[in-house]
Amino acid sequence: MIGVINYGMGNVGSVVKALDYLGIENILGESPEALKSVDKIILPGVGAFKDVMNNLVKRGWIDFLNEKVIDEKIPYLGICLGLQLIFQESEEFGLSEGFKWFSGSVKGFNLPDGYKIPHMGWNQLWKVNEHPVFDGINSGSYFYFVHSFFVAPKEDSVVAGKTDYYIDFVSSVARDNIIATQFHPEKSGRLGLKILENFNKWNGLWK
């Protein structure tokens, strides 16, 4: 059973619809109590880093996530802001602390004229490391992005994929039972559905 976290901000409906389309058993939880029995977690993310982090704290999600993902080591898929939040801090609207699961920070794009911010639309995922959740996905495949900030990990070993938007930025990270993507699998057509299908089958082990 996959638990999809609804922290009261952003639209999580597209993730649930994609899982339902695939016939994957899931539950949308508005409180940690609702997801206490799940064996996988998806954290979709839309909104400003600091506001979302404050909302997660207020609703008791941080302790829940640390218990489930870090202590019990159930598989975690972070999407967009669900990727950024697992890092130490973000510079969006001033420094804000994240989950601190991964070393590194979240930085804003500084791009020349001709490059729009946010980075929005279809772009390529170039795989850096193979991962079970990317099984059947060719390096260079296109996925859908909407974001103005990107993650800068301190450890190269966690980088699973990169994307080119004037700079090569990290668009996916993974370690142990955690995988996260800057792009939106739920909005990325057939290949995005393949990623969600792979995540449902994944046992949470990598390397």
For the chain, the average pLDDT equals 95
The amino acid present at 97, given as its one-letter code, is E
For 15, the 3-state DSSP assignment is helix
How does strand 26-29 pair with strand 2-5? parallel
Indicate the helix (H) or strand (E) that contains 55: helix 49-58
Predicted local confidence at residue 150, as pLDDT: 97
- Spell out the domains of the chain, with CATH numbers in brackets: 2-90+102-201 (3.40.50.880)
* Catalytic option among 72, 80, 92, 130: 80
Which member of 92, 131, 147, 186 is catalytic? 186
Distance CA 4, CA 62 (A): 14
The reply to whether 184 belongs to the active site is: yes
Q: What is residue 48's predicted lDDT score, i.e. its pLDDT?
A: 85
Which residue in the list 119, 131, 147, 184 is annotated as catalytic?
A: 184
User: Which is nearest to 44 in space by CA: 5, 70, 74, 96?
Assistant: 5
Q: Identify the H or E element spanning 195.
A: helix 189-201
Claim: this prediction has a pTM higher than 0.75: yes
Question: 147 catalytic, yes or no?
Answer: no
136: left (phi over 0), alpha (psi -120 to 50) or beta: left
Which amino acid is present at 58? K
The pLDDT of residue 9 is 67
Omega before 153 cis (within 30°)?
Answer: no
Neighbour-count burial of 177, counting CB atoms closer than 10 A to its CB (0-12 exposed, 13-18 middle, 19+ buried): buried
Q: Are 147 and 80 in contact (CB under 8 A)?
A: yes
Contact 80, 172 (CB under 8 A): no
- What tokens were used for 161? 């994929």
pLDDT on residue 10: 65
pLDDT at 153: 98
User: Is 119 known to be catalytic?
Assistant: no
Residues of the chain under the 50 pLDDT cut: none
Give the per-residue pLDDT at 129. 93
